[in-house]
Structure 1
Amino acid sequence: MRMPSVRSTCSSACPAMRDILLFAIVFGLLPFMLKRPVIGIFAFTWISLMNPHRLTYGAAYEFPFAALIAVVTLVGVLLSKEPKRFPLTPVTLVLLAFIAWMTFTSFFALEPQLVWKEWDRVMKTLFIALLAMAVIHTEKDIKIFAAVTGLSLGFYGLKGGAFTLGSGGSSHVLGPEGSYITDNNALALALITAAPIIWFLQLHAHRKWLRIGLGTVAVLTIVAAAGSYSRGALLAGAAMLTFLWLKSRHKLRVGIVLILLVPLIFSAMPDKWFDRMGTIDNYTEDASALGRINAWYFAANVAKDNILGGGYNVFTHKMFFIYAPVPLDHHAAHSIYFQVLGEHGYIGLALFLLLMACAWRSGTRIVRYCRNRDDLKWASDLAAMCQVSIIGYAVGGAFLSLAYYDLYYELIALLVLLEKVIMRKPDSARSRIAASPMMLAPAQGEGGKSP
């Protein structure tokens, strides 16, 4: 049994209202995007991560909101007099090289009729990430960007976590229909990666009710990831919690929370959940695991015979007959690493790994720079939570084909922006800003605390 989608459970209740509301919100924001392009960045992030159009029933379901927002935002960038400065850092230089390489390999794809549609989708995602790095230039906008990123997926964490607890974990949690995260495994990776960002929002919420609410969303997001029955999410969560404890300034406090939280989640899960998780170390008896290994060999064989890789969407039935050890056992890549390897070769994989390493190093530099700075503890915590999220993506993504998922590149953008705004601006020019209505300024005596 699986959790029914929002569309299927609510299709009889005012089907046009959601369409009207979504159109009103997006079209109402368009003039503001022209004046302040950063609003377009926030709107695109919301649409791409939450997929609110996939919760509607009419014209909005297939309407190209993301493309519209991207075009209007670009026009706004060209017309706006707001400062625009693209930071040249190791992260951005490697990202630009990765984009150039993926574009180059697309011209030599083994499945040319399939490559350009995926190239277009990936480039839109990366273009907005690059644009965010250029147009966001204040601490306030960084915090809002983090809030939009975390809460766009926190919506599904809240809903899915409540459903998991209410059903005793007997049903799978799924994402919105027709989206990038429809599959339970994809949704689990998205949720487990977003949870640290939601936790950052909780740490720096300045009202008690908001801290309680955001803390609840963070916990339910983790519960929802567990309720997806994704084994990759379990491994990612274990890696993230271990890193969180090792890097925490309050190991005893965090340890107590983890000791209480983990049994709580496990107690909500039925026996079949434990049976599913127990197959992790018995891959030889798991048909899906063997299928993934076959796909990984396929990717390695493609890269061995083609220095440029096979191009986007090379994991097809036709190509499996040429490169897979078991030609009839066709699967998607089921790994961000083998996905990049098969599609863009060893050079593409090297750039992908180098990008991750540079992003990690950027987070470390930010945390070190903000040490002993009470006014920058929020930046230190955000950088640390981005690192925790990257761990979740790196571990959980080893079993999923999500190499170009928006959330990962928005995490990279957050780290680049922190370095741009916090580290590369003279201390004398740094201004302390007022709290936004949602969060921003930490409560006195609490905001600087690490998880």
Structure 2
Amino acid sequence: MLDLALFAFLIAFVAIGFRRPFVWVLAYLYVDILAPGKMGWTLMPSIQPSLLTFIAAFAGWLLTDPKHGSRFTLRQGIMLALLLYCMWTTGNADFPEFAATKWEWVWKALFFAIFLPLTITTRTRLESALLVMVLTVGAIIISAGIKVVLGGGGYENDLFFVNDNSGLYESSTLATVAVCIIPIVLWFNKYGTVFLPDWRVKLFSAGLIFACLLMPVGTEARTGLVCIAVLLVLALRDVKRRLTFIVAGATLGLVALPFLPPSFYERMSTLSSADGDESASTRVAVWEWTIDYVTENPTGGGFDAFRGNKFTYKMPVREKQGNTEAVEYQEVTDEARAYHSAVFEMLGEQGYPGLALWLWLHALGLWQMERLRRRWRKRLKLGEAEGREWIAPLATALQYSQIVYLVGSLFQGIAYQPFVLMIVGLQCALWSYCKRIDSHEARERRAMRAASNPIPAGDAVTAG
């Protein structure tokens, strides 16, 4: 029954696209985030929804879209350079078979992030893409939140639609993305036009934000807790009554403590020290190995180069003996351990050139969103942004989402996460949209100056 329902919904989505081809872009966003092909048993896997919507989105834009206002930005160029470089390293990878498997989805994520801004030329399209992304990932978050409330959750527990530990269905990744979308949900709560922000929208937004905050608790992902702390610090930049905000946040945190399971406390306690946690100790050892590896291989080893690592480290094992605690250091040998950090993932797989491109891509995004935020806030104060009050808050929301991701990515190998690359694509689209507004207003000012300063008759004859 579920398979048939998903199939019918997708077919309806695609059918609407024959009248509005941009809907096929939205269909791909939905399919790539939710992965309905993994949720069915017969129909959905057989039609390959990701490939179907990917081809439809690109063909629809290429054949029917007027392409007015489409621009290729510098950040799209950086992603294109990164795509080509990843293709080259894949051809020279240390582990060709594993590299080819990862390349199958990485190239598609990068290509679509490059392509997405070309299709988004209006506010309605930008908002529609954001809305589909939020609602689709919200479906995963809400269902997992219900299971957390009813069953308590737990580390590596089955909370999702599918029994899969990859992509957004990996617990730490979902916890990070859940916190990422909170600023965007708040933006819809005030500036949305597809669904006007009435009491129903605000009620749903409050419920979705609550579910997002439950994800670090339900998955017991330590990264999610760090991301929440980062978002709260960022929020201090915009709230008017900061002291009240801090007190309210601390009060809510204290009220929630009695309802948290003991396993959550045990898991979060490892944040204070990496010595006694095998996962944290392994990560540090992998990072040290990666630095040594790139010293000898500056261009990286291609996707999944971590499979060549092998190292031995000492980890303290604590045992309670009455009222005392004995500490014994044991040697642990490990191999083929993942990077658990986007920075070291890029460094080990793509070397210094790939890491430089990735850092440039995100640093430029932070700068562009900050520039839009300040410029349009200033214009709003001067009364020059009538009808465009939404731009500065959206730039802020996208910037905060990116910052939360970057902090979370320090402890996860999610350098190529498709959802975040979609956010990057939407940042490029917003930047292009604002540049078009500036160009249009500049032409209007030149035309007004020309009309107010006509050429005298004598000068006109001389010029003739």
**Under a length normalisation based on structure 1, what TM-score does the superposition of the two structures give?**
0.84
How far off is 1:122 after superposition? Answer: 0.8
Q: 1:356 aligns with which of 355, 359, 362?
A: 362
Contact 2:80 2:111 in 1 (8 A): no
Contact 1:168 1:268 in 2 (8 A): no
Aligned counterpart, 1:347: 353
Q: 2:89 aligns with which of 97, 105, 114?
A: 105
CA–CA separation in structure 1 for the residues paired with 2:251 and 2:303: 44
Name the stretch that deviates more: 211-220 or 245-254. 245-254
CA–CA separation in structure 2 for the residues paired with 1:307 and 1:269: 46
Does structure 1 residue 186 correspond to structure 2 residue 173? yes
Structure 1 counterpart SS, 2:237: helix
Does structure 1 residue 166 correspond to structure 2 residue 157? no
Structure 1 counterpart SS, 2:428: helix
Contact 1:157 1:222 in 2 (8 A): no
Contact 1:34 1:73 in 2 (8 A): no
Residue identity (%)? 23
Does structure 1 residue 398 correspond to structure 2 residue 398? no
Deviations 1:339-389, CA, capped at 9 Å, x for gaps: 111100012111111111011111111112221135323222221111111
Q: 1:203 to 1:251 in 2, by over 3 A?
A: farther
CA–CA separation in structure 2 for the residues paired with 1:388 and 1:101: 28
Aligned counterpart, 1:11: none
How far off is 1:324 after superposition? Answer: 8.0
How far off is 1:142 after superposition? Answer: 0.5
Where do residues 89-100 of structure 1 align in structure 2 (5 Å cutoff)? 89-100=73-84
Aligned counterpart, 1:12: none
Aligned counterpart, 1:415: 427
How far off is 1:159 after superposition? Answer: 2.2
CA RMSD of aligned residues (A): 2.5
- Tell me the amino acid that sits aligned with residue 258 of structure 1: G
How far off is 1:80 after superposition? Answer: 0.6
Q: 1:286 aligns with which of 277, 294, 301?
A: 277
Aligned counterpart, 2:458: none
- Tell me the amino acid that sits aligned with residue 196 of structure 1: P
CA–CA separation in structure 1 for the residues paired with 2:97 and 2:127: 41
Instruction: Specify the structure having the higher radius of gyration (Cα).
Output: 2
Deviations 1:188-244, CA, capped at 9 Å, x for gaps: 122222222222222334221111111211122111232210111111111111012
Q: 1:357 to 1:426 in 2, by over 3 A?
A: closer
Aligned counterpart, 1:368: 374
Q: 1:380 aligns with which of 377, 392, 401?
A: 392
Contact 1:36 1:80 in 2 (8 A): no
Contact 2:179 2:404 in 1 (8 A): yes
CA–CA separation in structure 1 for the residues paired with 2:340 and 2:144: 23
CA–CA separation in structure 1 for the residues paired with 2:291 and 2:140: 35
Alignment gaps of 5+ in structure 1: 1-16, 431-451
Structure 1 counterpart SS, 2:306: coil
Q: 2:237 aligns with which of 246, 250, 270?
A: 246
Q: 1:351 to 1:361 in 2, by over 3 A?
A: same
Structure 1 counterpart SS, 2:339: coil
CA–CA separation in structure 2 for the residues paired with 1:324 and 1:360: 39
Q: 2:201 aligns with which of 210, 218, 230?
A: 210
CA–CA separation in structure 2 for the residues paired with 1:184 and 1:140: 32
Aligned counterpart, 2:130: 146
Q: 1:406 to 1:164 in 2, by over 3 A?
A: same
How far off is 1:103 after superposition? Answer: 1.8
How far off is 1:254 after superposition? Answer: 4.2
CA–CA separation in structure 2 for the residues paired with 1:104 and 1:361: 29
Higher strand share: 2
Does structure 1 residue 337 correspond to structure 2 residue 323? no
Name the stretch that deviates more: 279-288 or 266-275. 266-275
Q: 1:133 to 1:250 in 2, by over 3 A?
A: farther
Alignment gaps of 5+ in structure 2: 314-331, 443-464
Deviations 1:21-47, CA, capped at 9 Å, x for gaps: 222222333354455442122111111
